[in-house]
Structure 1
Amino acid sequence: MVPIEIGPQFFRGDLRVLNRAGHETHAFLLVANPDLIAQILQLRRSGISNPILVLRAARDADNAAQALDAGADDDIVMPIRAVELKARINAVLRRAHGHAADSITIGEVTAFFDGRDPEVGGHRVKLSRREHKVFQQLVLNARKVTSKAAIYDAVYGMSDDQPFDKVIDVYICKIRKKIGQAAPSGYPYIETVHGRGYKFDTSEPDHGLRPVAAE
């Protein structure tokens, strides 16, 4: 996780810009403060569905209940290990996208929502950090078309280091090639939907897979 610090001035801007597709995968970690409830309400009233997790120094049942009622997804007492915090964020994200389990299997591919490398034909396929972020966005929206802009925002969103959007095409090509090489069928599972984006899916409902050359 690479956190980007925000302050009170963040809430004075137009929060609606965060409603662009792709931003919904960024979680807000709000430290308990006098303006906490107002901040949560402001995010939710702006139509923002991002996970909101509250971090507080000591257990406080009444204030935790108020935060959850205002729209927070979790209220956590610090200290907390990064591995648990990441798991809590992933749990909120996958449920928000309609996935109850920690993985999804499509054809020969088992994709995980907890950061593990996917398994293709029973074998692990190693992905780089950036490839993971791109693949995760496709997996969360499995069987649906995800625009390149949404993937770009999910990967680079609020980062100061934003490359040209063509970099997404490069990552898609690399992921597609790795999956296609590992799959017994040779099918890459990432379909280009021209003019709309990409879709993580099998070629046909009955899984009749056909090898397709990577772009």
Structure 2
Amino acid sequence: MRILLVEDDSMIGEVVHDALRREGHATDWVRDGAQADAALATTDYDLLLLDLGLPRKGGLEVLRALRARGLGLPVLIATARDAVSERVAGLDAGADDYIVKPYDLDELLARVRALLRRAHGRAEPAYVWGEVRVVPATHEATRAGQPVQLSAREWAVLEPLLARPGRVLSRQQLEDKLYAWGEEVSSNAVEVYIHGVRKKLGAGLIENVRGLGYLVPKAAQDGEKG
């Protein structure tokens, strides 16, 4: 998934940025509110991880402007402001969740996963399609009951397709989930990683839609189990 991290503390930003990338997310990191506005205006994100005490433009202003434009992406506020009034203000401004620094990194990542899951209308963490079972939150996959190891890039291609079975995503949309700013984009990267997923989990899990892109068949959703 594509995530925008807005954090002006370099030490915290580096730790969170690296953790999100290890989870397989293409993560862009900006350090002030004005940069956040510019990024949100030009890039389609799946989640915003937002500090409040930012240079140039405060986090609440960024959030209010985002909601005023009608953008519905999930927003997780991560801030040192722990007063109840601050939490209420953040949630009333349109945040979906609020976590106070210093926070446990594992909890932060779990909240990110939960928000992404809810954003795609899925309460259950597991996806089942035939003999394949996939749990994106823990990066666990099995085929006919046997564990299957997918690379971070293979997960990055598979997760957005699994989020909405039956929905076609173009090659460009999948590239946007794979690469953050400044990363070199290989011309056939999407095809390479989809080939890897098919080889490990079965050729039928990801279908080609000629001239449009790729999808996971709706049968994956119909057969889902918790």
- TM-score range (shorter-chain normalised) is 0.7 to 0.9
Question: Which of 124, 128, 150 is equivalent to 1:127?
Answer: 150
Tell me the residue number matched to 2:69: 46
Q: Distance in 2 between matches of 1:204 and 1:106?
A: 4
Shift of residue 139, structure 1, vs aligned partner: 1.1
Share of identical aligned residues, percent? 31
Tell me the residue number matched to 1:85: 108
Tell me the residue number matched to 1:97: 120
Runs of at least 4 residues of structure 1 off by over 6 A?
A: 202-207
Shift of residue 58, structure 1, vs aligned partner: 4.6
Task: Establish whether residue 30 from structure 1 lines up as the match of residue 50 from structure 2.
Answer: yes
Shift of residue 32, structure 1, vs aligned partner: 2.3
Tell me the residue number matched to 2:4: none
Shift of residue 13, structure 1, vs aligned partner: 2.7
Q: Which has the higher contact order (CA 8 A, sep 6+)?
A: 2
Task: Establish whether residue 177 from structure 1 lines up as the match of residue 194 from structure 2.
Answer: no
Task: Establish whether residue 137 from structure 1 lines up as the match of residue 160 from structure 2.
Answer: yes
> Could you tell me which amino acid in structure 1 is paired with residue 216 of structure 2?
F
Shift of residue 12, structure 1, vs aligned partner: 5.0
- Counterparts in 2 of 1:161-200, with a 5 A limit? 161-180=183-202, 187-200=203-216
Question: Which of 31, 41, 57 is equivalent to 1:16?
Answer: 41
5+ long unaligned stretches in structure 1: 181-186, 208-215
5+ long unaligned stretches in structure 2: 1-19, 22-26
TM-score w.r.t. the length of structure 2 is: 0.77
TM-score w.r.t. the length of structure 1 is: 0.80
Shift of residue 125, structure 1, vs aligned partner: 1.0
> Could you tell me which amino acid in structure 1 is paired with residue 139 of structure 2?
R
Q: 1:44 and 1:18, CA in 2 relative to 1: closer, same or farther beyond 3 A?
A: farther
Task: Establish whether residue 4 from structure 1 lines up as the match of residue 4 from structure 2.
Answer: no
Report the 3-state secondary structure (helix = DSSP H, G, I; strand = E; otherwise coil) of the residue aligned with 2:186. coil
Q: How many residues align?
A: 195
Q: Provide the alpha-carbon RMSD of the alignment.
A: 2.5
Shift of residue 113, structure 1, vs aligned partner: 2.8
Q: Distance in 2 between matches of 1:101 and 1:204?
A: 13
Shift of residue 78, structure 1, vs aligned partner: 1.5
Q: Distance in 1 between matches of 2:221 and 2:39?
A: 42
- Structure with larger Rg: 1
